[in-house]
Structure 1
């Protein structure tokens, strides 16, 4: 039993709420995954090690939670920001959290020896001897929770890499080019750009931060060898931080942690590094992955450094960390052509443009290729145009070598997840997998007396064509026929995911009706599973009773309460 906080201390309540309930105000909700309720306690315990909740799970609709045994996390080598080695005898999340808090708060102000041995591929022993690494290219994705400063950091990286002229006016968040992105201040679609630093080309992919667009992040991780995990210097790891980090670790990517917004007066760099390291342990990261490089940065000022108290005047420490810690792409230079289409763009003049990383061989303009999803499903096409990303635009080229990210034109029916391979000996790459949708809504034609007054596409055929066209680039969405011929069931990763689709269709001139969102339930092993979400609520002590009562009315189950004062945690 630890010391109870005083009356001035805010309380953190962590509880389970049903997804079918309305969203709680000022609560952080996490995405939904499929799990048994028997695993719920394990995931809940894992959520206690940091501020944000774990990804939401699926639990049986009528069963009581039961504590599940959890294997002890793997030992790690260093506590970045604390300067001490982690204990190898941590047997539970509570033990690891207690051990971390008891360590002396010494900071490490030196470069960390990074491990760059992990890649997205898992080649066989025969192919390992044929694979080489390109030292002149780095492919990275910038991932983070919403509003932790990914896009602002990319803006500063582009400016300091001299992508823009000195007298050129550049608007803020240049990567958010979509109208909805600028209006809402969020990133919805992933974007590609590149910079050159000391004879090394760095391909950068900016990704969304909301859990509803997690499918974008899952696709992009197939194109890169490492990630920049951006964490707010005050909030620390949050729900989407956990989700994207888990996916990156599953791919075996190298991770560079960027503690952003370090110039904020309430910044807590030691707490953030401590919590992030603890999150690595909870996600069963390897010793090499736990040996991550920590960079402290201010994206809006364009400064970075190895210490929060000693920032350089530019982002050179961040660029150096990328080159040092992120491995170059592992390629088979003399092998048969292989390229996985990870993203699709559309141009009025060029048609469909496939974007992806060239895994093996070389690709030339005018080459006849084989497009396949499996060994038995292939068709032939010709590459009419070829582009690479140079600074903030696509540059036409005649040839692309393995390891680089490129854009291919000329394949009119290319789909995400298909492989562009050598015409004679090419083989398909593994397909892209994303998590299942969690919420569904009904879309139907407008049958009100005001039909046709606001839109020009009002028929069920127009609606069907538009919805199925959305599936061509949005892998996290599904469309099914409804009970009637003019009704369609659209499933997505969350209400925001579906709301963006609705608004885009409205602006394009489509007129339709939508039903209320419904949670997708499943039946596994004769058990009905329903999604639930982990919510973390920070509230002053005088309002704690009202919040607990509100959670109870929404079928909430509180399983932990902490008193928080600065960096001090008190278990109640």
Structure 2
């Protein structure tokens, strides 16, 4: 299956989580009768309480035979280190900007990281149906921001959409049909490159640990993009620290990938996909897991 890996970046309260919830619903990731908790990606207790996204989550939707892995990123400058790690495992970013407020300080911080990595953003002007919305001004402000951050000509020629996360639609023009998110799905497929790692599937397994989690049954878990090769549960891997020191050797107890909102066990991890591994006891963020 074709893969696209994309991060959604936005200032706090610019509607990122609501937009992701709509992508989940409209791609069929939720069953018709399944109760959808509002702000489905803000699942951490502290996040629900504070209404912000702290820990980056991954989710996955399928559209026209392509798996789109969507990584949610923190919108607060306090979590900048995590933002940089997340951006290193995607091939595109969707920059979400409130059409009434325009780019905010945090938008500048995260955008600078994305541009420095050579990522070409898709700009989504959200909440264009609000009375105070000024989408044309917001779009000009985004262009100026990119230019001030030293964006390349290619990055300055960014595609953009007008959207309402609450309304559940995105269109290429302001007077579009305002029906659904098809325009955003299609733009991701057109604009974001498939992961280059797919060409390294026959090399030995390698993955950079990007986020650390824990599970009551599976214990320590590490999530990241598979940079090369393939792996199955039961395979033995070693974890290497940034300076090349061996941290541990361990056997993979389980491999999971996000299919919809929840991690599902999968038989095999392959280069290019974003996955979660269990079985390690010491390995941590920024370690390399390899065969």
TM (norm. structure 2) is: 0.96
SS state of the match for residue 181, structure 1? helix
For 2:174 and 2:69, the matched residues in 1 are separated by: 27
Query: Which string of whole-angstrom CA distances, capped at 9 and with x for unpartnered residues, describes residues 256-281 of structure 1?
Result: 00000011112111101111011111
Structure 1 residues 155 and 376: CA distance shift in structure 2, 3 A: closer
Identify the residue that residue 186 of structure 2 maps to in structure 1: 320
Match of 2:241 among 373, 379, 392: 373
Equivalent pair of 2:220/2:280 in contact (CA under 8 Å): yes
Question: 1:36-60: CA deviations, max 9, x gaps?
Answer: xxxxxxxxxxxxxxxxxxxxxxxxx
Higher relative contact order (CA 8 A, sep 6+): 1
CA positional deviation for 1:210? 1.5
The offset of 1:316, in angstroms, is 0.2
Secondary structure of 2:290 counterpart: strand
Gaps of 5+ in 2: none
Tell me whether 1:308 sits opposite 2:177 in the alignment: no
Aligned to 2:79: 213
The counterpart of 1:152, out of the listed 9, 13, 18, is: 18
Counterparts of 2:214 and 2:179, CA distance in 1: 40
Q: Is the 8 A contact 2:204 2:229 kept in 1?
A: yes
Write out per-residue CA displacement over residues 133-174 of structure 1, whole angstroms, 9 at most, x where no aligned residue.
xx8101111111111110010011111011112122212101
What are the residue-to-residue correspondences of 1:187-202 with 2, within 5 Å?
187-202=53-68
Confirm or deny: 8 A CA contact 2:163 2:169 kept in the other structure.
Answer: yes
Corresponding residue for residue 256 of structure 2: 387
Aligned to 1:253: 119
- Give, in angstroms, the shift of residue 396 of structure 1: 1.0
Match of 1:346 among 184, 189, 214: 214
The separation in 1 between residues aligned to 2:4 and 2:211, in whole angstroms, is 19
Residue from 30, 38, 58 that aligns with 1:164: 30
Match of 1:240 in 2: 106
From 397, 404, 409, the equivalent of 2:273 is 404
The answer to whether the 8 A contact 2:242-2:286 is kept is no
8 A Cα contact 2:168 2:181, kept in partner = yes
Which segments of 5 or more consecutive residues in structure 1 lack a partner in the other structure?
1-134, 423-572
Residue 270 of structure 1 aligns to a residue whose secondary structure is helix
TM-score (norm 1): 0.49
Q: 1:310 deviation in Å? A: 1.5
Please give the alpha-carbon distance, in whole angstroms, between the structure 2 residues aligned to 1:180 and 1:390: 24
Matched, 1:413 2:279: no
For the 8 Å contact 1:254–1:327, the answer to whether it is kept is no
Alpha-carbon distance change, 374 to 266 in structure 1, aligned in 2, over 3 angstroms: closer
For the pair 1:336 / 2:204, whether they are aligned, the reply is yes
1:311, distance to aligned residue in structure 2 (A): 3.9
- Tell me the secondary structure at the aligned position of residue 356 of structure 1: strand
Q: List structure 1 runs of 4+ shifted beyond 6 angstroms.
A: none
Q: Which residue of 1 aligns with 2:227?
A: 359
3-state SS, counterpart of residue 220 of structure 2:
strand
TM superposition shift of 1:366: 0.9
Aligned match for 1:143, one of 6, 9, 25: 9
Alpha-carbon distance in structure 1 between the residues aligned to 2:148 and 2:177: 30
CA RMSD of aligned residues (A): 1.3
The answer to whether the 8 Å contact 1:297/1:311 transfers is no
Match of 1:504 in 2: none
Q: 1:393 offset after TM fit, Å? A: 1.1
Separation in 1, partners of 2:40, 2:81: 22
| Bigger-Rg structure (1/2) | 1
1:511-558: CA deviations, max 9, x gaps? Answer: xxxxxxxxxxxxxxxxxxxxxxxxxxxxxxxxxxxxxxxxxxxxxxxx
Residue 5 of structure 1 is matched in structure 2 by none
